[in-house]
Structures are given as C-alpha cells and as structure tokens.
A and B are shown apart, each in its own frame.
Chain A
C-alpha cells in the first residue's frame, strides 16, 4: 500500500506538467506565452508575501532563542499529562504549529532517543504526520490578502490541531495494544 501511494507522490509533479502542457497543446493554446504570463503573477505573489514571512520568522525565532518556548513547555507539560499525553511530547506539541522544519528535527531526536517503534516514537511521528504549521499558514496566507480581521480561522486551526494531537495519542494507544 505504501508503494502505491509512494508512486503517486513521485508522479504527481511530472504527471501534472505533462497533462497541463499536453492538454494546452491539444487545445492550441500558446503554451509558452501563457506560461510567461502566469509566471509573472507568481513572482509578484512571492514578493507580496516576503514581509509577512520575515515577520513570522523573527516572531518565532524570538520565542525559541530566548528560551521562552522552553519555559512554556515546563509549564504545560503537567497539564498535558492529565489529558493522557506523555510529557516528553510537550515541546513537539508546542513547536509543531509554528515551525515545520523545527518540529521535524525534534521528531528525529525523539525517535532516536526512545526508539522508532516505541510508543513515544510512533506518537511523535503521527502527530507531525497529521498536522500542519497553523501559525505559519495563517500569517503567510492572509499575508497575500487585504484581510485584517481573521475571524474564527485561527481558532478553527488550533482546535483542529488539538483534536489531531489527542487523536494521535489515542489511536496509537488503541492500535499498539493489539
């Protein structure tokens, strides 16, 4: 099953390109000119989001390199443990919504320290595999728009994230028993 999915993932980009260009040629679209036209807007979007990316990058860096994140972990650990979430996963839970690469590095550490097939190793993997970087998504995606009031989007993302974390732990607890 993994192989089939792996193959689809592998073919996604070349497949898309073939279909789009093939269909374009068939419909007699001036594919080169059309591509250039679209690419221009792509570069524009990249420049538009740059300030937002920088803002979120320094915001996250401020929390991490000052040690504020660590403090938050120590504070939240016991609370999460009451909900049945092992305290070893606290830092991952806090880091995941703000940093994709950071949380991957952390999973690597957890997996190496506790073993890849241990409960903690599995839980860490599933948690990262089932969630997205919520804050990053909100900051960058709204950054491309004129929106100032983000309404319930952050809340929906965070509650969903919490549900994902709880589900990760529960699903593994049930499946690893058998």
Chain B
C-alpha cells in the first residue's frame, strides 16, 4: 500500500510541476526537503538516546513492571494478546507523553513500542492486530493542553485562548472511538 501512495505522491507532484512550468523551483524544494529530513532525525536522535537510556534504567529497576500492572484492564481491552510487560509499559509511556505534550519523546516511545510489537510479531511482513490498534490510538491521541495552538491564539488577540481545549478533547475522543471501532471491526472480521 505504501508503495502506491508514495509513488503516487511523487508522480503526481512531478506531473503537476511540469504542467505548471515550475520544474526548477520544484526540484530545488524537493532536494531541500531531504536535508530537512536529515536535520529532523539528528534532532530526534539526541532525545531518543536520552529517553531510551532512562527507560533502560526504569526497566532494570523494576519500575516498568510496576507501572504495567497498574493499568492492565485498559490494555486488556485494546491489546488482548499482549503479555509482555515491557511492551505494555512502553505503549503506556508513549500514550502519556502524547497526552502531556512531550511531542518528540512521545515519538520515541511510540517507535520503541512498534519495534517491540514487531519482535513479538516475529518480524513478520504483515502488521499484527496490536500494531494497528496501537497506531490507531496513537494517531487520535491528543494533547490535553495544545500549547502551540493556545499560544497562536493568544498571539492573535483571542479573548480566551484556552476555550478550544475542551472541544479539542471531545473531538479527539470522537476520533479515537471511531479509530478503535474500525480496528476492532477488522480484528473480528479476520478472526
């Protein structure tokens, strides 16, 4: 699927740029975006190292086990087959980092969770139910205080910049419930 989407994006782009006669500017920004990608990952690598290091301490000290035991019921519903405490802890860390707006850290926990789920899936080329569910929840997981947006609004002279927080949480919930339902539907269909 990714093959078609990616090829589609590039080919559509090239066709449009040719048609509109903006090929040279197009090529330039395309090359620039590769560099942006590298900078982005270099920035990420530092934080990633820090959190992976800290999580390793938490694993060695048994903190992760304790944390995983605490929230078992929710995990049972979303990931019925998940037994590995470390994976559960990582998934939870990624969710909570997301909620509290630690954006880059959330990305790192999510990546680690995916790697762990991948190993449990035997590095199969077919995504497991747990992976799909994890992504579905992750994609609709929202920040309790969308700091950047609140900032943008107060800069623009809003009377009450925080007024969008509750509606955002509600809309986020709607989105999450639908995503989870789609996943559960496909899980049943396969079973």
Contact = CB atoms under 8 A, between A and B. Distances in A.
A111 B163 CA distance: 14
A155 B187 CA distance: 13
Interface in B106-124: 107-108, 110-112, 114-115, 117-118, 121, 123-124
Interface in A39-70: 39-43, 45-47, 49-50, 53-63, 65-68
The bracket for how many chain B residues form the interface is 35 or more
Interface in A96-117: 104, 107-108, 111-112, 115-117
A163 B49 contact: no
Given A153-B132, A167-B170, A39 B50 contact: yes
A163 B178 contact: yes
A12 B50 contact: no
A45 B164 contact: no
B182 A160 contact: yes
B37 A53 contact: yes
Contacts of B149: 104, 107, 125, 128-129
B41 A50 contact: yes
Contacts, number: 372
A160 B9 contact: no
Contacts of B140: 131-132, 157, 160-161, 164
A83 interface: no
A148 B100 CA distance: 31
Contact of A62 (B30, B163, B172): B30
A2 B48 contact: no
Contacts of B48: 42-43, 45-46
Contacts of A41: 52, 56
A137 B135 contact: yes
A58 B33 contact: yes
Contacts of A172: 167
A107 B139 contact: no
B108 to A, nearest CB: 7
Give chain A's interface secondary structure class.
Answer: helix
A85 interface: no
Contact of B174 (A138, A150, A163): A163
Nearest to A26: B61
Interface in A115-135: 115-117, 121-122, 125-132, 134-135
Contacts of B179: 156-157, 159-160, 163
B10 interface: yes
Given A111-B152, A126-B164, 13 more contacts: A36-B53, A38-B53, A41-B52, A43-B45, A43-B48, A45-B108, A111-B153, A129-B149, A142-B135, A148-B125, A157-B136, A164-B172, A164-B175
Interface of B: 1-2, 5-6, 9-10, 12-17, 20, 22, 25-26, 29-30, 32-34, 36-38, 40-42, 44-45, 48-63, 96-97, 100-102, 105, 107-108, 110-112, 114-115, 117-118, 121, 123-127, 131-132, 135-136, 138-150, 152-154, 156-165, 167-172, 174-180, 182-183, 186
15 contacts: A9-B143, A23-B61, A24-B60, A65-B13, A104-B149, A111-B152, A125-B146, A125-B149, A126-B168, A132-B140, A137-B138, A149-B126, A157-B179, A163-B175, A171-B170
